[in-house]
Each structure stands twice: as structure tokens, then as C-alpha cells.
Chains A and B, each alone.
Chain A
């Protein structure tokens, strides 16, 4: 039995969450009611907000929310029916309802619970709004998850409490927010749909840009490229919080190899890689690909090009592809990420689960997933006037790896090409998921 005092009062509601021993909710509740003199009612499922001076018991969870701060419950903390008492937090509910993918039984979320004042979604003092109840449920789940030894309580959870008011969940899960590196002096090329050259978050940043699409300017008429550049290279302090960019002082090389309609071809991509190698970019990020059938070999041309690029100090990372619909339909890593010398990036969600669309290392002779990055519900820049957008895909995981590669490259000028790829894999956070799905694990910024 412990009282969690780690959370500052200003991120809390003044109420307490009380977790009861299984089957002992009634006994524990009596002790609580006696101690603080409040009336706790059982949840009806309709009006679950505790009335002032009262409380609500969630019988199936074995959790009560009591209108009294944890300090007032100290005298019952030793009661055998009570497992934990914590302050009720104000939380921001990060919706993942579109992607009810594999959950990781018992595996902790990749992002710590909020430790600073989060964006509140509590809408009215009566506390009956949907948003309040949702945040409230998340707080309850946060309390019950670590105690539920078999993970059963977490198995159907599709939301996780994450404070994204200051930085995106991806920058937290990869520990970019704790890293002192900025990518300064490193050139990073993003080969994509171009870039919104007028985006206010990049005002004053030097940008080298080139279009490899006949008849189209670099200006991003799609959005995908601007989103990827935002993640890999966005500002440390953008005009509007949260921070979403990683290598905020790296040099931006925006190569347009996909048209505004989102299509491109090997010829333009190879020309873009050549440009990046000649420009001495340490990292090339390619959030693109073509579907590969089981058994289909990788491209000899791209493999040799990637090795030649590495020998000249350029590491290529590429999206593993979004062809899968897990759990039933899983496709191999896409072209050209399936080349052994191109780093293939899978997508994870905020809980550390593999994204349902993320491809798997199925084909022999290369074709493996090398590493994984945040790729579900990723917030980043989007062409004006929208400015920002949340989307998902291995396309979004890839620039996380590319941006972090620039941080490693800055940290050690001798680490380039294949060695940079090994540094990324070596520093990844191991996950309890098959390496065919996530490779070395979740990419992590250098210490």
C-alpha cells in the first residue's frame, strides 16, 4: 500500500481514486465512508460524476472516486481492502478509437502520465460532459492497469492518458524531449511531396529544395511532405504548442519525388537520393513505397544504391508500408524499404502496440523491419491554412527515426552510413513484440 505523491496538486481535481482489493470493494468503501464522512454511490453507468461531498464506486473495476484529497484518506491507507489511493488527475484523452489494434497485455504505456498541468478536457463544473467522463475513465484505468497483473483490465483499453500540451507523444516516447541535441550541422533530406515553403513554423529556417516531378514546383500541394518534414525537422518552440519536430537545427533538404497527387516512380526517387548524397546529407527520409508480394525479391538497384550512399556517409530510412490490416491480413515490408541496406521503419501506437496497418518482415533475404517509431495519431505541420494535422502511418514513424538519426549524427561525427543505422538500432527501446514487427524496438534519442 502506498500513496502516490508524485503528481503535483495543480494537475489534479482534489478528488481521490481508491483502488480496492478484488472482492473487497464493499468493505473498503465502508472504511472510506467512515473516514471522510462521504456518501459513495454505485455507478449507474449514466451519471458517473461524483456529487459534491460524495463519491462513485465503479464496481466492475473495484475503484471509487471520492470527493476528498488523498491526505484526508491517510487513516484508511493501511486498510487491507485498499490497494492504492491516488489523486484524480485532469487528463487529456488521446483518441485512438479509429485503430483498435493489438493491445499489449500488461505492457506499460511508452509515455509517462502527465507530470505538468495538462490540457484539460473537463467541460463543465457539473462534470457530466462526455469529455469529462472519458478523461475520468482514463484516470481510473491509469490507476487499475499496473495492479491488474494479468492485464485483463487493459485489454480493451483504446485510450491512454497522455499530456501533449508541450510535446507530442512521439517526442516523449522517443525521449527526444530529454535530449540536448538539435541536429546542428547535419543535413537531412526528406524525399516526399515537397514542402510548404510559407509555413510560419519554419520562418527563417534555411531550406534547400528541389523538385524531381516534371511540371511541379517544390511547394507541397498534398500535405504529406510538410507533415514528414515537420516531424523530422520542426522547430523546438513552434508558434503554437506542442513541439512536434525533432532535429530543429538540422539543415532542411526538401526533395519532391511524389507529385501533388501523391504518386511518383523509382526514377525520380533515385534522382532524389543522388541529390541528397551529392549534397552530403547524413540522412534521407523516405515515407513512400510500393506494395510487395510474399516471396518477391528486393530491388538490386536500390540495394546497391543504398550501399553506395552509406559508403559516402548517407543513411536511408524508409517506411515499412501500410498494406496490412491486422491481425488477419499482414503484408511484407514495401519497396524500397525491403532492401537490406535501407532501414525499414514500422509504426507503433502510444501504448507501444504495433499499428494495425504496419507491415511485417516476411520475405527472406532482407525484407525485415529494422526499427519502429511513433506512427499512430501523429501531430505535425500541414500546409497553410490548416497549419497542423494528426495522421497515422509508417510514413509518420519514418521521419521520427530520420530526425533522431540526425541527433546521433551530430553527437558523433564518425558515425555515418551503416554505422549510423547500427547506432539507431542499438539505442532502441526493446519491446515485448516480435522483431519481425518492430525490429530492434522503439527508436530512442541519444542520451
Chain B
């Protein structure tokens, strides 16, 4: 399951440290975004979500949503 993780304001300066702690908690990190304070990654299951939410410096964890636009030939895009 792909997830997006919001890094807390007081941990923004140590986003790499938060990412390392998340790896230890079972997250496969796919991106670290220092300007906006986000870490993206993947976990195996719902239980994995709970363990990464408990990591110090994590303000929020959300399942990544899919977005979709219609095929090119549709009149409404």
C-alpha cells in the first residue's frame, strides 16, 4: 500500500532522520520531499500503517489516492 507521510513542523529540519526511523518501522521509502515536508513510501498492510504512524516526527499518514482523468477522446476532461 502506497502512503504519504506528513512530517511534523518541529521535525522538518531532520526529515532524513524521520525517514530513517520510518525505514526501521517497516516503510519502504520512495521519496523524501524536504521543502514541503513529506515522505512517500509503501507498507505491506494496515498493521504497518499503525507502526509508522507511531514514529516520532510523523504528523499524519494517509493512504495514497489514485487520480484519473478521462481518455483523450472524451469531450469532458
* A and B found bound together: yes
Give A residues with C-beta under 8 Å from B.
Answer: 98, 193, 222-224, 227, 258, 262-267, 269-271, 273-274, 277-278, 287-290, 299-301, 304-305, 308-309, 312, 322, 335, 357, 391-393, 395-396
The answer to whether B36 touches A305 (Cβ under 8 A) is yes
Query: Across the interface, which residues of A come within 8 angstroms of B71, CB to CB?
Result: 262
What secondary structure prevails in chain B residues at the interface with A? strand
Q: In residues 2-19 of chain B, which contact A (Cβ within 8 Å)?
A: 2, 4-6
**Could you jot down 15 A-B contacts, CB within 8 Å?**
A222-B72, A223-B72, A262-B68, A264-B68, A265-B2, A265-B66, A270-B31, A274-B34, A277-B36, A287-B77, A290-B65, A301-B60, A305-B38, A335-B65, A391-B74
Partner of B35, one of A98, A222, A274, A357: A274
Contact present for B33 and A270 (CB under 8 Å): yes
Please name the 6 residue pairs, one residue from A and one from B, whose CB atoms are nearest each other, closest first.
A274-B33, A266-B64, A393-B77, A267-B40, A300-B60, A262-B69
Once A266-B64, A393-B76 are accepted as A-B contacts, the answer to whether A193 and B69 lie under 8 Å apart by CB is yes
The chain B residue sitting closest to A257, CB to CB, is B67
Q: What B residues does A277 contact at CB under 8 A?
A: 35-36
Q: Decide: B70 and A262 in contact? CB cutoff 8 A.
A: yes
Residue in A closest to B60 when the chains form the complex, CB atoms? A300
Given contacts A270-B38, A274-B33, are A300 and B62 in contact (CB under 8 A)? yes
Q: What B residues does A287 contact at CB under 8 A?
A: 69, 77
Task: Give the residue of B4, B36, B66, B75 whose beta carbon is less than 8 angstroms from that of A309.
Answer: B36
A357 contacts across to B, CB distance below 8 A: 76
User: B77 touches which one: A98, A224, A265, A309 (CB < 8 A)?
Assistant: A224
Contact call A392/B77, Cβ cutoff below 8 A:
yes
- In angstroms, how far is the closest chain A Cβ from the Cβ of B14? 16
Report how many residues on chain B are interfacial, defined by Cβ distance under 8 Å: 29
Chain A residues with CB below 8 A from B76, complex form: 322, 357, 391-393
Interchain nearest-CB distance for B1 vs A (Å)? 11
Provide the bound-state CA to CA distance between A187 and B29, in Å: 30
Question: What's the Cα separation between A169 and B76 when bound, in Å?
Answer: 17
Is the C-beta of B51 less than 8 angstroms from some C-beta in chain A? no
Contact B67–A392 (Cβ < 8 Å): no
Chain A residue, CB-CB nearest to B30: A267
A271 vs B5: C-alpha distance in the bound complex, in angstroms? 12
B21 within 8 A of A: no
Chain A residues near B77 (CB, 8 Å)?
A: 224, 227, 287, 322, 391-393, 395-396
Complex CA distance for A262 and B66, rounded to whole angstroms: 11
Chain A residue contacts of B68, Cβ below 8 A: 262-264, 290
Contact call A301/B4, Cβ cutoff below 8 A: yes
A308 to chain B, nearest CB (A): 5
